[in-house]
């Protein structure tokens, strides 16, 4: 079992080396980070190595990967997602809001807070942000403000994917016309304060949000204070949210057994990671065994070819008998 773990880890590290374009011998610091992150979580070193490969494939540098490994790994545990899914969500969100790896932990905290403060789960967050994050940034909205909008709409019966798609269309419309979300919501609320009818309010919302998104504008206009409270909570009070949510997922006996397994694997890989003396010994043994097998195969092939040649020639009966005696020999 220990040999198999070393073999799988070595295989993934070689794959990581190919994806990143960095020689395996120069990935020592990344490898150390992988082992440390895995050793304190329910994820194995091989799983965290695959996460590192995903982050490199998403265009992150070596230093960025080291910064993003822990928050991304914790996010996958906290939200019950795969490491690849969590990595894609975090990186795409950072990119959409024009942030670097140094904001990875803060963004992961905000996403965790969105999970615990609204009815949004991982799939809903991923679906909504996939649509709205790039356009929200165009209106100078923060991740916390964007998450608050999605959360309020989800809590009011608008499915997150639909909310994200329609909000994105509305934000593009507003950006083209030089309008802001705050100004659009104020216009609806001012009309309501003047006693305008529901039909009037809907027409006002249509001008800024569009026909399909007008209802979203009315919902948000009626929840301005709640949205502002959530946005403040997400942007300014979310620190430590990821750790709390992750720690809750690690209290079960099953999680504790997985942590033990990860710690054991960390010990195994500390002894050998496929590149040290033990790993090289295994590789030399396997290489030697392959050489022996190839030698036997070549010798057998040469014998078969020789016999086939003798059979194809015009031989006398005595020669054929000699061949049979040779084959028996």
Enclosing H/E stretch for 159: none
Q: Computed from CA positions of residues 266, 268, 271, 273, in that sequence, does the dihedral angle turn out positive or negative?
A: negative
Which two tokens mark 224? 């301005």
Q: What is the predicted pLDDT for the residue at 274?
A: 44
Rounded to two decimals, what is the model's pTM?
A: 0.77
- Angle formed by the axes of helices 104-117 and 224-236, to 10°? 140
Buried b or exposed e, range 281-309, using 16+ CB within 10 angstroms: ebeeeeeeeeeeeeeeeeeeeeeeeeeee
Q: What is the predicted pLDDT for the residue at 185?
A: 96
Each of the 329 residues of the chain gets a pLDDT tens digit; together they read: 777 878 888 889 999 999 999 998 999 999 999 988 988 788 888 899 999 999 999 999 999 999 999 999 999 999 989 988 999 999 999 999 999 999 999 999 999 999 999 999 999 999 999 999 999 998 999 999 999 999 999 999 999 999 999 999 999 999 999 999 999 999 999 999 999 999 999 999 999 999 999 999 999 999 999 999 999 999 999 999 999 988 887 776 666 666 666 666 666 776 655 455 555 555 555 566 666 766 776 666 665 566 566 555 554 555 555 555 555 65
Place of tokens 């996958």: 76
- Nearest one of 136, 120, 52, 35 to 86, comparing CA atoms: 52
Distances, alpha carbon 283 to alpha carbons 3, 269, 273, 274, 287, in Å: 12, 16, 12, 8, 6
Q: What is the predicted pLDDT for the residue at 133?
A: 95
Which two tokens mark 269? 């890989």
Which two tokens mark 54? 């995903």
- Nearest one of 163, 268, 173 to 216, comparing CA atoms: 163
Place of tokens 């996010």: 75
d(CA 272, CA 275): 7
Distances, alpha carbon 61 to alpha carbons 30, 33, 92, 297, in Å: 11, 14, 15, 46
Helical H runs in the chain? 2-20, 28-39, 45-57, 62-79, 83-96, 104-117, 122-138, 143-155, 160-177, 181-193, 198-209, 214-221, 224-236, 241-249, 253-271, 277-312, 317-328
d(CA 103, CA 55): 15
């Amino acid at each position: 079992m220990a040999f198999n773990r070393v073999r799988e880890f070595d295989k993934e590290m070689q794959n990581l080396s190919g994806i990143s374009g960095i020689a395996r011998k120069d990935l020592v610091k990344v490898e150390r980070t992988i082992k440390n992150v895995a050793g304190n979580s329910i994820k194995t070193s091989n799983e965290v190595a695959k996460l590192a490969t995903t982050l490199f494939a998403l265009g992150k540098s070596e230093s960025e990967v080291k910064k993003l490994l822990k928050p991304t790994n914790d996010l996958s545990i906290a939200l019950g997602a795969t490491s690849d899914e969590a990595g894609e969500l975090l990186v795409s969100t950072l990119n959409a809001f024009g942030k670097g790896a140094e904001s990875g932990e803060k963004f992961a905290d905000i996403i965790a807070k969105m999970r615990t403060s609204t009815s949004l789960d991982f799939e809903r967050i991923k679906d909504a942000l996939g649509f709205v994050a790039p356009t929200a940034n165009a209106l100078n909205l923060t991740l916390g403000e964007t998450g608050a909008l999605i959360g309020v709409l989800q809590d009011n019966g608008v499915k997150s994917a639909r909310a994200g798609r329609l909000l994105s269309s509305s934000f593009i419309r507003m950006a083209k016309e030089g309008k802001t979300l705050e100004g659009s919501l104020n216009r609806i609320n001012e009309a309501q304060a003047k006693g305008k009818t529901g039909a009037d309010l809907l027409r006002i919302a249509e001008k800024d949000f569009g026909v399909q998104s007008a209802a979203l504008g009315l919902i948000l206009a009626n929840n301005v204070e709640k949205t502002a409270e959530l946005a403040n909570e997400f942007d300014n009070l979310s620190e430590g949210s990821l750790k709390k949510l992750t720690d809750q997922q690690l209290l079960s006996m099953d999680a504790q057994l997985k942590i033990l397994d990860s710690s054991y694997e960390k010990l195994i890989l500390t002894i050998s990671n496929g590149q040290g003396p033990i790993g090289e010994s295994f590789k030399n043994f396997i290489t030697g065994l392959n050489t022996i097998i190839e030698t036997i195969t070549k010798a057998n092939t040469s014998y078969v070819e020789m016999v086939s040649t003798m059979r194809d020639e015009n031989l006398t009966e005595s020669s054929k008998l000699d061949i049979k005696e040779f084959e028996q020999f």
